[in-house]
Structure 1
Amino acid sequence: MSVRVLFFIFITFTFAHARDCEGTKLNGCCCDLNNNVKEESVAFTAITTNGDALPNGPIIYDKVVTNVGKAYSARSGIFHAPVPGVYSFSFSLMGLHSNPFYMFLYKNNAEITRLYTAGGGRHEVSSNTVYLTLKKGDEVYTKGTEGKKLYASEPYNMFSGVLIKIGSF
């Protein structure tokens, strides 16, 4: 192969790669210092072990099972999106018997969806999954019925999330 052909292949590859990275940068995302597209891994699962009455604020899931990317805070109970993209979030609850309970999933202080258990004389379980388009810095968290208690003797009450696809949509 001639030097010109090799040079042409090299320039074509470099130009195509740089355009992809520049295009990604224009969408507010993820190139490193060498102008290469960065891969981001974000995933967490956390469980609450607190059976006390819930405050008026995010539920604290204190037992962190996994926290790839360190985007979930066990101190605040809040997930902070480190990059823009499509994320999947799941959450579940087990309410105590004779204890009707609502749990809400919020994105930046706006309710997205909710769970409910009626607590009709037995423990009940409820769960939900939602896909959200997030911007960098968006917050996602759960809140429960203030003053109510979760069944926390076993790991039924969990909150998890994963980055599905990076980018601005």
Structure 2
Amino acid sequence: MFDQLLLLISILLLLPVVIPVPPPGGASPTLCRRCCDHLEGSPAPQTGEHTGGQNQMPEVRTYINMTILKGDKGDRGDRGTPGKSGGEGPPGSRGPMGPKGTKGQAGPSGDNCKNQNAAFSVGRRKSLHSVDYYQALVFDTEFVNLGGHFDMFTGKFHCHVPGVYYFNVNIHTWNFKETYLHIMRNDREQAIVYAQPSERSIMQSQSVMLPLELGDEVWVRMYKRERENAVYSDDVDVYITFNGYLITPALE
């Protein structure tokens, strides 16, 4: 019984409610007339004339109470696509300093510095007569020999540091004998030391700068021709010297 009563009340609430609403502005309602009244000789009623309330129809407006039609809350929709990123904001204030870290392990030791020095100075205390067509001039006195790059047994300087070198050779000629020598780089003549036979002995000198590569050899060679070739010295004084040193190492 209660359910039937509740259903009846719901139906009554859904029915449209007719409420007479007066015309807007408070004007008098317009008289109703048939569309063909003026054809039968009756004059059309003028605006604002009242002929009685029997032909006046009320204006009908429908009103529905929407609060009783509200349903249950629906499910939440899908998340929309994110919008564009906004502009970069101003930098924040600097945070507090963190705690001091622990000391790291020591790294491996570096390579030892490369030796960029090269120099030698040697001499000869004994005279020498050439016996072969070509003959290396060897030395018996060592003044300077950094790193042992000059071989006293062969009379040759071996390049261990590539770069530009300065070389100088000094000799004493022998009376009435020719003096003919070359400063050699490997197997090629670079500079000559020459003195013609003379009744007087003299000192002769020659110097040259050479660019050397690793493994190059520089030495002094005696050159024998038809005449006897010789250099003079004695057991007391040094008359013959050969010197060389590195001016600048090559760029790596």
TM-score, normalised via structure 1 length: 0.74
Give the alignment partner of residue 52 of structure 1, picking from 128, 149, 170.
128
Partner of 1:34: 110
Matched length: 137
Give the alignment partner of residue 207 of structure 2, picking from 116, 123, 129.
129
Partner of 1:27: none
User: Can you list the C-alpha shifts for 1:92-134, whole angstroms capped at 9, x where unaligned?
Assistant: 1111011111110010110001011123101011111111000
Q: Which stretch of the first structure deviates more once superposed, 99-108 or 43-52?
A: 43-52
Partner of 1:155: 238
Q: Which stretch of the first structure deviates more once superposed, 112-121 or 141-150?
A: 141-150
Distance of 1:112 and 1:50 partners within structure 2: 25
| Matched letter for residue 245 of structure 2 | V
Higher relative contact order (CA 8 A, sep 6+): 1
Distance of 2:127 and 2:115 partners within structure 1: 38
Give the alignment partner of residue 185 of structure 2, picking from 107, 113, 120.
107
User: Can you list the C-alpha shifts for 1:127-146, whole angstroms capped at 9, x where unaligned?
Assistant: 11111000010000001133
Q: Matches of residues 19-30 of structure 1 in structure 2 within 5 Å? A: none
Distance of 1:79 and 1:92 partners within structure 2: 16
Query: Does the residue aligned with 1:69 lie in a helix, a strand or coil?
Result: helix
Partner of 2:98: none
| Matched letter for residue 165 of structure 2 | Y
2:145 corresponds to 1:62: no
Cα deviation, residue 36, structure 1: 6.2
Q: Matches of residues 8-23 of structure 1 in structure 2 within 5 Å? A: none
Distance of 2:250 and 2:229 partners within structure 1: 38
Q: Is the 8 A contact 1:82 1:137 kept in 2?
A: yes
| Matched letter for residue 157 of structure 1 | I
| More strand per residue | 1
The percent of aligned pairs where both chains have the same amino acid is 26
- CA gap 1:110/1:168 in 2 versus in 1, 3 angstroms: farther
Q: Is the 8 A contact 1:93 1:103 kept in 2?
A: no
Structure 2: runs of 5 or more not aligned: 1-108
Distance of 2:238 and 2:128 partners within structure 1: 15
